[in-house]
Structure 1
Amino acid sequence: MEKKILLAACALGFLAIIFGAFGAHALKKTLTIEQLNSFETGVKYQMYHALFLLFIGVTQIITLKEKTIVFYLTLTGVLFFSGSIYALTTNGLTGIKSKLIGPITPIGGLLLILSWGYLFYVILTKK
């Protein structure tokens, strides 16, 4: 499982750099400042959680079961949160309906909060 977590962390980081460069260069001419700021927020949260998963993958303070829970909460949270922000900010280019995507963003945020909260609880209750 640790290898899976580390590979996911690397993939999220790799893609965050690509999306960041894409936003800064290719989308700069087509999106508004507000949309670019939102897109950048998605990139930042994706990178923060790539680093978070790197920590989860290598730490020995939590069990494999606990790592698995944090991993799935975080990965799903990033996909929902950052993914929906990418879709919402580029909907003028892609034609994706924002009414379908909009509610996914806060669900992703909640999953990210739960991943950190669960990790806090697990560490707090360790003997």
Structure 2
Amino acid sequence: MAGALAALTGVMAGAFGAHGLRQIVSPRGLEVFQTGVTYQIYHALALLAVAVLAGFGLARRWLIASAVLFVVGILLFSGSLYGLVLMDLTVLGPVTPVGGLCFMAGWVCLIIAAFKRIPESG
């Protein structure tokens, strides 16, 4: 559900950026906003992949950790970029790298999940 919701809102944000912001923000602002959209969509797809991988016997706790980190990464990374562009909240600047670290940690958890595959019972 989180992956589908993140994908839906990412598409909505992308459409808003492409059609609603062009006359309002600078080209650099559009670029920053688009970066938020791009990372949100990538990680929405990653969340969907985590859900699929759950059916393949990967270590559940690492998959859950990965999914949580991807969601937090979307909120912090993409959310801070949206706030910077839409509300000029420069205080959010330091939040963006924390979201990026969450993305990286989520990928590390997914790698660990793959290595800690649960053996099939025979």
Normalized against structure 2, the TM-score is what?
Answer: 0.88
Corresponding residue of 1:10: 4
**Letter matched to residue 34 of structure 2:** E
Residue 106 of structure 2 is aligned to residue 115 of structure 1: yes
Query: What is the distance in 2 between the residues matched to 1:98 and 1:51?
Result: 29
Bigger mean CA offset, 74-83 vs 64-73:
64-73
**Letter matched to residue 8 of structure 2:** F
Corresponding residue of 1:56: 50
Q: Give the Å deviation of 1:66.
A: 1.7
Residue 96 of structure 2 is aligned to residue 105 of structure 1: yes
**Letter matched to residue 57 of structure 1:** A
Secondary structure of the structure 1 residue equivalent to 2:29: helix
CA RMSD of aligned residues (A): 1.4
**Letter matched to residue 22 of structure 1:** F
Equivalent pair of 2:77/2:100 in contact (CA under 8 Å): yes
Q: Give the Å deviation of 1:125.
A: 4.8
Partner of residue 87 from structure 1, selected from 79, 83, 89: 83
**Letter matched to residue 98 of structure 1:** T
Q: Which sections of structure 1, spanning at least 5 residues, go unmatched?
A: 1-6
Q: After TM superposition, which residue ranges in structure 1, 4 or more long, deviate above 3 angstroms?
A: 124-127
